[in-house]
Amino acid sequence: MDDDFLLLNPGPVPVRESVLEAMAEPMVSHRSADFEAVYERAQAGVEYVFEQSGVAGGSTADGTALLLNGTATMGMEAAVANLVGPEDHVVALVNGKFGRRFARIAERYSENVTRVDVPWGESIPVSAVAEALTPETRLVTMVHNETSTGLQNPVWAVGDLLADHDAQFAVDGVTSVGGDVFLVDEWNVDVAVTDAQKALETPPGISAVYVTDAVREEFDGESAPFYEDLDWHLRKEESNQTPFTSAVPLFRAMAAAVEAIESEGMDARIDRHHRQARAFRHGFAALGLDRFPEATDHTVLSNTVTAIQLPEQIRGDPADFFAAIDERNVSISGGQAHLGGEIFRVSNMGSLRGDQVVRGVRVVGEALEAVGIETDVEAGVAAASEWVDG
């Protein structure tokens, strides 16, 4: 057995040694010049990721990244709370757990929410989004990469619908920003949210929102929770600060992580994530496994999270299968909510090496054999290996 622990959950993801070392530096005041220098580095790196997550040059976005002392759910709530009042019409797009979370947040702040709701793992028809929009629609919420199902939703297509519409567009880019194409300006995104613990390769605890210059005028910080007043965050950002006590070690970690991402370059990073996702998909297919989601209409499969149906023999009671994975010092995730016992999910977010992706496929094959399911482990390894090195 390989003794090195391999974390393949779709967050938190493995972090670099340089990130861990940054967290271990001596503590400083969150109101000191030392911390302000850290904030400036972290913010610049996060803005690089938001603005350059595209093919050959990235986006033409003009905005500001704000670092938040809370995970991405805080960013999702901040996006809604600063833009929506009780009577404002919100269209919430739901085809998984995190689309549902965005909708539930919207329903906390507005009494006029229209859900475009399809079964988890199915594609959201863009035509249904168009039908839900009205001239009074204030906000549309959408998840780009639905972590719970392994689908990448067509933010670009919904953004096209909103090009000539007064509605604002808030997008959860939690498991795509930093690992896949994300074009803030070209997709007409007004507020984008991401998390430290996903493709940015930072320990959990902080997150970031990117707000375009145009949407800043729409914020009503007085209507938002005190802690999530984005007007206040924008004012403090001008002096490289947050309104409240900052998690100093986590900001240091973020600074180190995004500087490493910039060294790799977003084009190369995105290409690597695409190849590794294909390695997982081809490897699992060669093991005889079926993928879970069905990508139709404008929706495609995720390039950072792979969701696979559990074989019928263990569906509903996969405890022994997951135990066999654990015994091999690898961690993967099962399904969430009603998908528990139905699927498993693996991540290639961050800086996984090709051999680690192949090991993930091998261990899944070995675990299947351990619970009595016939498979061809070497075929899975061979199929995955064809993709990892490009």
Question: 204-254: per-residue pLDDT in tens?
Answer: 999 999 999 999 999 999 999 999 999 999 999 999 999 999 999 999 999
Given 264, 298, 333, the domain boundary residue is 264
Query: What confidence tier does 1 reach under pLDDT thresholds 50, 70, 90?
Result: very low
Q: Are residues 240 and 293 in the same domain?
A: no
Q: Are residues 259 and 275 in the same domain?
A: no
Q: Are residues 185 and 235 in the same domain?
A: yes
Given a cut of 50, whether residue 137 has pLDDT beyond it is yes
Given 264, 299, 324, the domain boundary residue is 264
Residue 21 included in any domain: yes
Q: What pLDDT score does 54 carry?
A: 78
Output the domain CATH number for residue 348: 3.90.1150.10
Given a cut of 90, whether residue 390 has pLDDT beyond it is no
Q: What pLDDT score does 154 carry?
A: 97
**What is the count of structural domains for the chain?**
2
- Per DSSP, the three-state class of 158 is helix
Query: What confidence tier does 164 reach under pLDDT thresholds 50, 70, 90?
Result: confident
Which residue has 């938002």 as its token pair?
224
* Residue range of the domain that includes 161: 17-264
Q: Are residues 148 and 296 in the same domain?
A: no
Residue 47 included in any domain: yes
Query: What confidence tier does 58 reach under pLDDT thresholds 50, 70, 90?
Result: low
Q: Are residues 119 and 216 in the same domain?
A: yes
Residue 291 included in any domain: yes
Q: Are residues 257 and 274 in the same domain?
A: no
Given a cut of 70, whether residue 293 has pLDDT beyond it is yes
Residue 97 included in any domain: yes
Q: What is the pTM of this model?
A: 0.95
Q: Is 246 within 8 Å of 35 (Cβ atoms)?
A: yes
Helices in the chain by DSSP H: which ranges?
17-23, 33-52, 72-81, 97-109, 126-132, 155-161, 213-216, 230-237, 248-264, 266-286, 319-327, 354-370, 377-388
Q: Read off the pLDDT of residues 9-41 as tens digits, 9 standing for 90 and up.
A: 999 999 999 999 999 999 999 999 999 999 999
Q: What pLDDT score does 297 carry?
A: 86
**What's the whole-number average pLDDT of the chain?**
95
Q: Are residues 214 and 279 in the same domain?
A: no
Percent of the chain with pLDDT over 70: 97
Output the domain CATH number for residue 128: 3.40.640.10
Residue 253 included in any domain: yes
Which residue has 């005041």 as its token pair?
29
Beta bridge partners of residue 210, listed in sequence order: 65, 192
Q: Are residues 117 and 161 in the same domain?
A: yes
Give percent helix, percent strand, percent coil of the chain, each to the nearest 5. 40, 15, 40
Cα–Cα separations (whole angstroms), residue 157 to 163, 184, 284? 10, 13, 30
Q: Read off the pLDDT of residues 308-364 as tens digits, 9 standing for 90 and up.
A: 999 999 999 999 999 999 999 999 999 999 999 999 999 999 999 999 999 999 999
Q: Are residues 47 and 141 in the same domain?
A: yes
Q: Are residues 241 and 360 in the same domain?
A: no
Q: How far apart are CA 251 and CA 67, in angstroms?
A: 8
Q: Rg of the Cα trace of the chain?
A: 21
Q: Are residues 100 and 164 in the same domain?
A: yes
Q: How far apart are CA 128 and CA 135, in angstroms?
A: 16
Residue 1 included in any domain: no
Residue 104 included in any domain: yes
Mean pLDDT of 162-172: 95
Q: Is 85 within 8 Å of 224 (Cβ atoms)?
A: no
Given 264, 290, 308, the domain boundary residue is 264
Q: Are residues 52 and 190 in the same domain?
A: yes
